[in-house]
Amino acid sequence: MAEEEVSYATVKFKKKKHSTKVKKEETVYDEVEVKMSKGENEAKEKTPDTNDKTSDRTMSRHRHYKQLACCLGIICVMLVLGIIAVTVYHLYCKLSSDTEDLRRNQTNLILQIHNLTRDSTLLEKQLAEKNQELEKKNEELETEKKNLKEIIEQMTTRRDELNVSRAQWSIDAYCPKEKNSNNRKCNACQAGWLYFEPSCYVVHNAERAEWKTWEEARENCRGKSSDLAVVINEEEKKNVSKNSWKDNENKRYWIGLRVEDGKWKWLDGRNLTDSSWMNQPPSDGHCAISVQDEGFKSVRCDETNPWICNKKALSV
Angstrom distance (rounded) from CA 154 to CA 132: 33
Asked whether the beta carbons of 307 and 253 are under 8 A apart, the reply is: yes
* pLDDT score, position 216: 95
- 171 with 279: CB under 8 angstroms? no
DSSP 3-state of 150: helix
Q: Pick 148 or 244 by higher pLDDT.
A: 148
Select from 288, 279, 296, 287 the least CA-distant residue to 234.
296
**Chain CA centroid to CA 238, Å:** 69
The secondary structure of residue 294, as a DSSP letter, is T
Whether pLDDT at 141 is above 80: yes
**Among residues of the chain, what percentage have pLDDT more than 90?**
16
How far apart (Å, rounded) are the C-alpha atoms in residues 297 and 272?
A: 13
Q: Could you tell me the fold of the domain covering 194-312?
A: Mannose-Binding Protein A; Chain A (3.10.100)
Asked whether the beta carbons of 295 and 302 are under 8 A apart, the reply is no
pLDDT (0 to 100) of residue 301:
95
Under the banding of pLDDT at 50, 70 and 90, the label for residue 3 is very low
Three-state secondary-structure class, residue 20: coil
- Stated as kind and residue range, the H or E segment containing 177 is none
Residue 287 pLDDT: 95
Candidate from 139-153, 165-179, 224-238, 263-277 with smallest mean pLDDT: 165-179
- Average of per-residue pLDDT across 174-197: 75
CB 265, CB 257: distance < 8 Å: yes
Whether the per-residue pLDDT at 36 is higher than 70: the answer is: no
**In whole angstroms, how far apart are CA 235 and each of 58, 280, 292?**
165, 21, 14
Average model confidence (pLDDT) across the chain = 77
Which amino acid appears at position 33 of this protein? E
**262 CB contacts (<8 Å, ≥6 apart)?**
282, 284
- Amino acid identity of residue 223, one-letter, is G
Torsions phi, psi for 62 (to 5 deg) = -60, -40
pLDDT digits (tens, 9 = 90+) for 231-240: 888 888 877 7
Q: Which of 136, 203, 150, 200 is nearest to 174 (CA)?
A: 200
Position 52 confidence tier, pLDDT thresholds 50, 70, 90: low
pLDDT in tens, 209-218: 889 999 999 9
Query: Phi, psi at residue 264, to the nearest 5°?
Result: -80, 125
Distance CA 199, CA 240 (A): 11
Mean pLDDT of 35-54: 53
Is it the case that residue 71 has pLDDT exceeding 80?
yes
Task: Please list, in sequence order, all residues whose beta carbon lies within 8 angstroms of the beta carbon of residue 204, skipping any fewer than 6 positions away.
Answer: 217, 220, 253, 306, 307, 308, 309
What distance separates the 2 farthest-apart alpha carbons in the chain? 217
Question: Higher-confidence residue: 50 or 262?
Answer: 262
CB 2 within 8 A of CB 55: yes
Residue ranges of the alpha helices (H) in the chain?
21-174, 214-222, 234-242
Closest CA to 266 of 250, 282, 252, 279: 282
